Amino acid sequence: MAQNIAFGLEMLGKPRAEVSATTERMLALVQLEKMAGRKISQLSGGQQQRIALARALAPRPKVLLLDEPLSALDLKLRKEMQIELKRLQLETGITFIFVTHDQEEALTMSDRIAVMSSGHIQQIGGAREIYNRPANRFVASFIGETNFLPAIIDAGHTKLKAGGQIEAVGSEGRSGAVTLAVRPEQVRIVGVDEAGALPATIRNLVYFGTDTHCYMELADGSEVVARQQSPVSGDVGLKQGSKVGLRFAAGSVQILGD
C-alpha cells in the first residue's frame, strides 16, 4: 500500500528520502498508518478510496480533479468519505474540482458550484445561492426538489392559474405567463378555511423517516409537494383525500428565468 502511494513520486524522480517522508505523511493524512504494509486487495472500499486520494495528493498538485470518486460506494461509506474529503481539502489547501451527479453531495461539499447541462454552464454560485435562487428551471429541478406552478403577471400582480394572488421574487417589470418555483420545505399546510390560503387536496403521503412528503393537487390540477418534519410519535395528522390550505413562506416563491 505504501508503494502504491509512492509510485507517482518515484516516477517524478524524487529523492528516496523525500518519497519515504511524503508517503508517511500521506498515510497519516488519510489515517491509515497502521495499514502501510497491506496489499490494496486487503483493504475495504473506503480504505481503497483513501489510498487513491493519498497517491493523488502526494505530488502536491495545484488542482486535483475528482471525477465521481464516491459513486461506487454504499450510502454510509459515501457519507463518511464526504467528510474525509472535506477534511483533506482543508488540511492540504489544494483546490478540488469535484464532479458529481449527486445533488446533495454537491450542496454539502462545495464552496462554489457550477451547474452544467449539455456542456454549457447554467449557473455558478455558492450552495445557498444555487439552491435558493436558481437561475432557470433546469437548475431548480436539478438541484433539490422544486414545485413549479403556472401563473400570470398582470398589472404588477402575480396570479396563480389555480387561483389566488401571490408575492413572487422577480416579478418586477414582467407580464404575461410565467413559471413560479418554490421548494417543498417552504410550503405550509394550514386549515382549508384559513383566510388567504390556497385550497388543495392531499393525494399521497410518503414517510421518509425524518420527513413526510405530502403530495397535493390544486384546483387547476397542478401538483404541489410539501415536506414536513415527522413527529416523534404518531402520524402527521393528515390523510389521503383531505382538503387543506397552503401557504408559502415569505420570500420563498421565485419567478424562473428561461
Does domain 147-255 match CATH 2.40.50.140? yes
Instruction: Tell whether the model's pLDDT for residue 197 goes beyond 70.
Output: yes
Cell, residue 170: 422577480
Q: What is the pTM of this model?
A: 0.77
Q: In the structure, what pLDDT confidence band is assigned to residue 258 with cuts at 50, 70 and 90?
A: low
What is the arithmetic mean of pLDDT over 109-121?
93
Beta strands in the chain (DSSP E): 63-67, 95-99, 113-117, 120-125, 147-154, 157-160, 165-166, 176-182, 187-190, 198-207, 211-218, 223-229, 243-248, 254-255
127-178 pLDDT, tens digit each: 999 999 999 999 999 998 999 999 999 887 899 988 888 888 887 878 889 9
Q: In the structure, what pLDDT confidence band is assigned to residue 4 with cuts at 50, 70 and 90?
A: confident
**Total count of residues recorded for the chain:** 258
Listed range (75-84, 191-200, 209-218) with the worst mean pLDDT? 75-84
Question: What are the residue boundaries of the structural domains of the chain, listed by start?
Answer: 2-111, 147-255
Neighbours of 152 (CB within 10 A): 13
20-70 pLDDT, tens digit each: 898 888 888 788 888 888 888 888 877 888 888 888 888 888 999 999 888
For residue 67, how far is the Cα from the chain centroid? 17
Instruction: Tell whether the model's pLDDT for residue 77 goes beyond 90.
Output: no
Q: Which CATH number among 3.30.1370.60, 3.30.450.20, 3.40.640.10, 3.40.50.300 corresponds to the domain 2-111? A: 3.40.50.300
Measure the CA–CA gap between 120 and 110, rounded to whole angstroms.
19
Instruction: Tell whether the model's pLDDT for residue 187 goes beyond 70.
Output: yes
